[in-house]
Structure 1
Amino acid sequence: MLIYPTIEIQDGRCVSLDKGRLDEPLIWHVDPVGMAQSFAKAGAEWMHLTDVDGITGNARNAELVETIIRKAGIPVQLGGGFRSRDGVERWIDKGAGRIVIGTLAAQEPDIVKQLAKYHPDQIVLALDVWNGHVMIDGWRRQSAITPEDFIAEFEDVPLAAIIITDIDSDIDAVDGRLGVISGLAAHSRTPVIASGVVRTVDDIARLKYIPNISGALVGRALFRKTVELGAALLEARRGPEKVAEFI
């Protein structure tokens, strides 16, 4: 299982958002570029970067995002407001390892299917769930699409992964979130990356036992120092413990 250490940037600063509330960021006073480089030094194979301002169509972080992609030392999985084919391909050309797409996939699935065809294993779906429906526009609008239908729509598409976030659950209700994510992972042929469920290394150990979970985003826990990245990577690489069979 892969750990994706995660940075969210807003107005050039590292932040964390509570259930997508763009106007109430928790600001972390660290250098985004230095933080990204620390992920590579710890041994991470990938990192995840969300341009929060990009969700609202603001390009103020573009130069910073380019710098992180260039200097991180590991591939960057980039999300944040991709609403057109040109926008996706522009950032692939700029060196992003993967592009995360949510709203465009819900509204224009054929465009995303074409992107995945021409850029296999570089397109990731963002599946954000609230009250049994897919949320779009940066968690601000509820679509009429169910998560199961959303997954089925892209069943035979060469995606790199699907990132699943259960927005419904309270930040501390990890069991509930794991239940939703594991249930949807069972519907997917595409590997699933779990989001919003890692508070401690023990949560990573639990994720390894869920079929079709290929990775986890870890952001806030790194900044809060409830998870040390080296320990998280070690736990993720360690195979699940074998359970003795009853005779």
Structure 2
Amino acid sequence: MEVIPAIDLLEGRCVRLYQGDYDRSETFNEDPVAVARQWVEQGATRLHLVDLDGAKLGRSANLDSIAQIVRTVSIPVEVGGGLRDRDSVAALLDLGVQWAILGTVAVEKPELVAQLCREFPGKIIVGIDARNGRVATRGWLETSPVLATDLARQMASLGVAAIIYTDIHRDGTLTGPNLDALRQLADTIDIPIIASGGISSVTDLLSLSALEPQGVTGVIIGRALYTGDVRLGEALQAIGPGRILDVPPDLGSSAWA
């Protein structure tokens, strides 16, 4: 399973939100490029960037930081936040970003998603951010009546490369992933699913890895990496490509200290 460190960008800083609340942001580093370099040095094979300003404004707002990160690291980068038209997606891919992550437009303009999948095959990921099973949009500021499973099914049929599923109530809380929701989603679609939100320990990662045969192929870790609750090297050893396959699933993170 791929372990993907998250870098959330707000006004050029690396921050984390609590349950998607912009008023409850915590700055972890003023230099996101240094953070990206750090994760690569520790063994990351992919980075997940979120333009939080862009998600709120509806247009990319941290392109300079994103471009610097892409130029600095030698691993693939995926970016989401504020991508609501064709030109913003094209501009991001032109910078060397490997995957563009769409959110709001998946609900509001599915025909645009279809167009982008045709124009940029293999480059479009849809992020489904859910509250109580329903899709949130516009930087998590609004909740739609659309069910996450219904949207996932529709997006898979349009040809997206993967689905990133975030449980907003878990995001930034260190309370563990929503395994039931992920299992339900995996039963609905047959494209890769990347889990996001709530990871707090290696135990959480081991529990999540049980869903890998069902199609949950990656996990995004944010706050837990920045607080030290999870160390990237330990996460990679537990569930990454070089994992220790015979680790009992009930071992806690203390076993990796």
Q: How does the TM-score come out when normalised to structure 2? A: 0.88
Aligned residue for 1:92, secondary structure, equals helix
Following TM superposition, by how much is the alpha carbon of 1:56 offset from its aligned partner in structure 2, in angstroms?
2.2
**Percentage of identical aligned residues:** 34
Alignment partner, residue 201 of structure 1: 202
Alignment partner, residue 176 of structure 2: 174
Q: 1:141-220 residue pairs with structure 2 within 5 A?
A: 141-169=142-170, 171-174=173-176, 177-210=178-211, 211-220=214-223
Aligned residue for 1:202, secondary structure, equals helix
Taking structure 1 as reference, are residues 42 and 53 closer, same or farther at Cα in structure 2, changes over 3 Å only?
same
Alignment partner, residue 228 of structure 2: 225
Aligned residue for 1:23, secondary structure, equals strand
Alignment partner, residue 27 of structure 2: 27
1:14 aligns with 2:5: no
CA distance in 2, matches of 1:242, 1:188: 29
Gaps of 5+ in 2: 249-257
User: Any conservation in 2 of the 1:166–1:181 contact (CA below 8 Å)?
Assistant: no
Q: Deviations over 1:45-65 (max 9, x none)?
A: 111011111112265422111
Report runs of 4+ in structure 1 exceeding 6 Å deviation. none
Deviates more, 1:112-121 or 1:76-85: 112-121
User: Any conservation in 1 of the 2:12–2:30 contact (CA below 8 Å)?
Assistant: no
CA distance in 1, matches of 2:2, 2:107: 26
Alignment partner, residue 112 of structure 2: 111
Alignment partner, residue 42 of structure 2: 42
1:132 aligns with 2:133: yes
Gaps of 5+ in 1: none
Deviates more, 1:52-61 or 1:89-98: 52-61
Amino acid paired to 1:214 = T
Following TM superposition, by how much is the alpha carbon of 1:213 offset from its aligned partner in structure 2, in angstroms?
0.5
Following TM superposition, by how much is the alpha carbon of 1:205 offset from its aligned partner in structure 2, in angstroms?
1.2
Aligned length: 242
Amino acid paired to 2:231 = E
Amino acid paired to 2:108 = Q
Taking structure 1 as reference, are residues 224 and 116 closer, same or farther at Cα in structure 2, changes over 3 Å only?
same
CA distance in 2, matches of 1:42, 1:29: 17
User: Any conservation in 1 of the 2:14–2:30 contact (CA below 8 Å)?
Assistant: yes
User: Any conservation in 2 of the 1:37–1:73 contact (CA below 8 Å)?
Assistant: no
Q: How does the TM-score come out when normalised to structure 1? A: 0.91
